[in-house]
């Protein structure tokens, strides 16, 4: 589990295609690689991935993950290239501060950035979600976009808006976002359970 509070912006250093649609990615990071256990979960742009190797690439710490065909198809991982910057978060440990909301790292779909409005002290992002996911999006609810926990502001049919403060713009990949970009979307697990309960009543 994660909280949606990004702790590093990593960089894809290399990509290797393997048999049966598997893709191996080496990701440079600011984490001390000696503290990353093999098998540890790390959220990479909101996608829970498993470290299969750790070490150094030159003088830079790095970890290696494998992405299966399903992940490549359903998330932005299939579009990553060497040099792609991604939000990173290591898994929660007992006693950690829960600063955002509970995030599983299981992406539900892709949200498209419809527009970006840069305001005096923040940026307003308006995004469109796949219609089947729109019922999970509610004003003042939570959502994770590329691994970042955010509070939803306005909702209209299949679009919603979020406000991004300067700190978030500076410590995540959001500063470089532009209209047309796609982001990994994970809806709030509480919204999912609430919708399921409504279906059964």
Selecting among 34, 50, 156, 170, the annotated active-site residue is 50
Selecting among 30, 35, 69, 106, the annotated active-site residue is 106
Selecting among 3, 26, 41, 54, the annotated active-site residue is 41
Measured CA to CA, the distance from residue 65 to residue 173 in angstroms comes to 20
151 is catalytic: yes
160 is catalytic: no
DSSP 103: B
68 is catalytic: yes
Nearest in space to 66 (alpha carbons), one of 57, 76, 55, 53: 53
Residue 5's CB is within 10 A of a number of other CB atoms, namely: 21
50 is catalytic: yes
Selecting among 2, 136, 160, 174, the annotated active-site residue is 2
2 is catalytic: yes
Selecting among 29, 44, 48, 191, the annotated active-site residue is 48
DSSP 133: G
Selecting among 34, 35, 151, 170, the annotated active-site residue is 151
3-class SS string, 170-197 = HHCHHHHCCCCCEEEEEECHHHHHHHHH
Selecting among 30, 68, 82, 179, the annotated active-site residue is 68
Catalytic residue numbers? 2, 41, 48, 50, 68, 106, 151
């Amino acid at each position: 589990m994660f909280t949606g509070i990004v702790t590093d912006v990593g960089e894809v250093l290399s990509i290797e295609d393997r048999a049966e649609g598997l893709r191996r990615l080496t990701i440079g990071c600011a984490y001390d690689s000696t503290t990353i256990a093999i098998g540890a979960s790390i959220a990479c742009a909101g996608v829970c991935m498993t470290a299969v190797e750790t070490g150094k690439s030159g003088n830079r710490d790095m970890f290696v993950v494998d992405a299966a065909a399903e992940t490549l198809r359903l998330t932005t991982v299939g579009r990553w290239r060497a040099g792609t910057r991604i939000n990173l978060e290591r898994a929660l440990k007992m006693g950690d501060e829960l600063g955002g909301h509970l995030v599983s790292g299981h992406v539900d779909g892709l949200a498209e950035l419809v527009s970006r409005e840069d305001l005096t002290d923040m940026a307003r992002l308006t995004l469109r979600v796949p219609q089947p996911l729109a019922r999970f999006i509610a004003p003042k609810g939570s959502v994770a976009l590329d691994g970042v926990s955010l509070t939803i502001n306005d909702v209209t049919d299949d679009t919603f808006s979020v406000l991004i403060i300067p700190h978030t713009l500076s410590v995540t990949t959001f500063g470089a976002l532009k209209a047309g970009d796609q982001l990994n979307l994970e809806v709030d697990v509480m919204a999912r359970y609430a919708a399921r309960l409504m279906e059964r009543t």
